[in-house]
Amino acid sequence: MVDADQTFVIVGGGLAGAKAAETLRAEGFTGRVILICDERDHPYERPPLSKGYLLGKDTRESVFVHEPAWYAQNDIELHLGQTVDAIDRAAKTVRFGDDGTLAHYDKLLLATGAEPRRLDVPGTDLAGVHHLRRLAHAERLKGVLTALGRDNGHLVIAGGGWIGLEVAAAAREYGAEVTVVEPEPTPLHGVLGPELGTLFADLHRDHGVRFHFGARLTEIVGQDGMVLAARTDDGEEHPAHDVLAAIGAAPRTALAEAAGLELADRAHGGGVAVDASLRTSDPDVYAAGDVASFPHGLFDTRLRVEHWANALNGGPAAARAMLGKAVAYDRVPYFFSDQYDLGMEYSGWAPPGSYDQVVIRGDAGKREFIAFWVKEGRVLAGMNVNVWDVTEPIQKLIASRTAVDTEALADPHVPLESLGS
Whether 97 and 171 share a structural domain: no
Number of domains present in the structure of the chain: 3
pLDDT(340) > 80: yes
pLDDT of amino acid 2? 56
If one compares 122 and 266, the residue with the highest pLDDT of the two is: 122
Is residue 197, in this structure, part of any structural domain at all?
yes
Q: pLDDT per residue over 104-121, tens digit each?
A: 999 999 999 999 999 999
Whether 302 and 346 share a structural domain: no
- Please state the rounded mean pLDDT for residues 283-291: 97
pLDDT of amino acid 300? 83
- Please state the rounded mean pLDDT for residues 290-315: 92
Whether 23 and 71 share a structural domain: yes
Q: pLDDT per residue over 219-273, tens digit each?
A: 999 999 999 999 999 999 999 999 999 999 999 999 999 999 999 998 878 999 9
pLDDT(194) > 90: no
From the list 65, 54, 80, the residue with the least C-alpha distance to 21 is 65
Residue that finishes a domain, picked among 247, 272, 299: 247
Is residue 335, in this structure, part of any structural domain at all?
no
Whether 76 and 142 share a structural domain: no
pLDDT of amino acid 266? 86
Burial of 76 (0-12, 13-18, 19+ CB in 10 A): buried
- Please state the rounded mean pLDDT for residues 71-80: 98
pLDDT of amino acid 3? 64
Domain residues for 140?
Answer: 129-247
Q: Measure the CA–CA gap between 286 and 10, rounded to whole angstroms.
A: 9
Confidence tier at 332 by pLDDT (50, 70, 90): very high
Residues with Cβ within 8 Å of 192's Cβ and at least 6 positions away in sequence, in order, are: 186, 200, 383
Is residue 82, in this structure, part of any structural domain at all?
yes
Is residue 83, in this structure, part of any structural domain at all?
yes
Residue that finishes a domain, picked among 258, 290, 322: 322
Whether 300 and 387 share a structural domain: no
**Number of residues that this document lists for the chain:** 421
Instruction: Determine what percent of the chain is predicted with pLDDT higher than 70.
Output: 99
Is residue 362, in this structure, part of any structural domain at all?
yes
Q: Would you say 264 and 304 are in contact if contact means Cβ atoms under 8 Å apart?
A: yes
C-alpha distances out from residue 62 to 49, 133, 341, 379, Å? 11, 17, 22, 36
CA diameter of the chain: 66
Q: pLDDT per residue over 140-189, tens digit each?
A: 999 999 999 999 999 999 999 999 999 999 999 999 999 999 999 999 99
Q: pLDDT per residue over 2-13, tens digit each?
A: 566 899 999 999
State the CATH number of the domain containing residue 381. 3.30.390.30
pLDDT(65) > 90: yes
Is residue 1, in this structure, part of any structural domain at all?
no
State the CATH number of the domain containing residue 103. 3.50.50.60
pLDDT(1) > 70: no
Residue that finishes a domain, picked among 221, 247, 273: 247
pLDDT of amino acid 4? 66
Is residue 123, in this structure, part of any structural domain at all?
no
Whether 136 and 243 share a structural domain: yes
Whether 152 and 243 share a structural domain: yes
Residue 295 bridge partners (DSSP): 302
Is residue 113 classed as helix, strand or coil in its secondary structure? coil
Whether 94 and 20 share a structural domain: yes
Q: Measure the CA–CA gap between 125 and 188, rounded to whole angstroms.
A: 27
Mean pLDDT rounded to a whole number for the chain = 95
Whether 243 and 254 share a structural domain: no
Backbone angles phi, psi at 341, to 5 degrees: -100, 15
Whether 69 and 175 share a structural domain: no
pLDDT(359) > 90: yes
Whether 96 and 170 share a structural domain: no
pLDDT of amino acid 421? 63
From the list 146, 148, 142, 138, the residue with the least C-alpha distance to 177 is 148
Is residue 122, in this structure, part of any structural domain at all?
no
Whether 238 and 314 share a structural domain: no
